[in-house]
Amino acid sequence: MKKSILFVLVVSLVFSVAVFANGAGDSGKDAADIEVVFIPKLTGNMFFESANVGAQDIAAKVGFTCTYDGSPNASVADQVQIINSAVARGVDAISISSLTPDGLNDALKKAQDNGIKVVTWDSDVDPMYRELYVNQGTPEILGKLLVDMAADQMTDSQKASAKFAFFYSSPTVTDQNAWVEYAKVYIGENYPGWELLTTEYGEQDAQKSFQIGQSILDTYSDLDAILCPDSTALPGMAEAARRANLTKDDIIITGFATPSSMREYLKDNTIEAFGLWDCGLQGAMGAYLAYWLALGNTFSVGDSIDIPGIGSVKVESNDIQGYKNAPKDTGIVLLPERVVFTTANVDDYNF
């Protein structure tokens, strides 16, 4: 059974015994009274569209309204406008994947000042401007995974002296830069002979990512590996390699993207492996936790929160993401697992 279909069935089956496991909260509102605005980095990207499927599924089961509101462009200004519009409409909660670590601060502060609960998912903001962050993995978890997926494909000679590149969305996006910074630390500790030749950015634009992928191949013909921790950069890089008639035997390309966007590149031997997490699950958790807070529920670090169809999730300290002096009434919820996709398992997933 396809994994995203399985998730929907599990939500349906468990819902009958798990609804409102944490009570109705103190807001005096019922589920039908709550509106959560669910904001991606951009629309049209399979990662964020899949996250929205998870968000809409759980909203329908629980009974709250989840409004998907995003821009087709990866624009901080557009995210600010969407937040301001949500504030003007008087919504109850915002759940957002931020394009910037600090560019949304003023807009989110205005939302909080108007009683709107803020949750981040996928990519965070300063903990001062949100209550919870639904995190796909700490920088240590994902930075290590990114490097290991490349190293596992290398010969002993390559492991000793690989030349590599990073290619992802931008120099300012919170999540990907944190993963890359830890990846550099991990490489220094475990593969000191590796040489970083370039770091390139595709701005989460599909055509630009393809063109930059071509440029990387043209400029750095001696690369052993290209690490792409971005769901737009990775397929763009793979397409550039395919059009150059390069296969996984010629160059290692790996990173994070959805199975649906990368399946064909696995099957035609352009790449050998890539990774991700269940973005539908992440979307469901991001939407539900925003709703749960809007009901008036509160938490402390170390508490567990029951999510219908998903189970109990623990609120971790902001310290696991490297934050210092974060507000005590904020925290992080981690996704339970990450997945490495190969030809052996990619058809088990349909997001």
Residue 53's contacts (CB-CB under 8 Å, 6 or more residues apart) are 4, 280, 283, 351
Mean pLDDT on 74-87: 98
Structure tokens at 175: 């999540």
Mean pLDDT on 84-105: 98
pLDDT confidence of residue 305: 98
Query: Is the CA virtual torsion 256, 261, 263, 269 positive or negative?
Result: negative
The answer, yes or no, to whether residue 18 has pLDDT greater than 60, is no
Mean pLDDT on 301-311: 97
Q: How confident is the model at residue 76 (pLDDT cuts 50, 70, 90)?
A: very high
Q: Helices then strands (H, E): number in the chain?
A: 11, 14
Which is it for strands 304-307 and 311-314: parallel, antiparallel or unpaired?
A: antiparallel
Q: How far is CA 49 from CA 44, 261, 262, 277, in A?
A: 7, 12, 15, 14
The answer, yes or no, to whether residue 7 has pLDDT greater than 50, is no
What does the mean pLDDT of the chain come to? Answer: 93
Q: Are 99 and 175 in contact (CB under 8 A)?
A: no
**In the chain, what are the domains?**
3-136+278-324+331-337 (3.40.50.2300), 139-276 (3.40.50.2300)
Q: How confident is the model at residue 27 (pLDDT cuts 50, 70, 90)?
A: low
Element (H, E) at 112: helix 105-113
pLDDT tens sequence across 222-278? 999 999 999 999 999 999 999 999 999 999 999 999 999 999 999 999 999 999 999
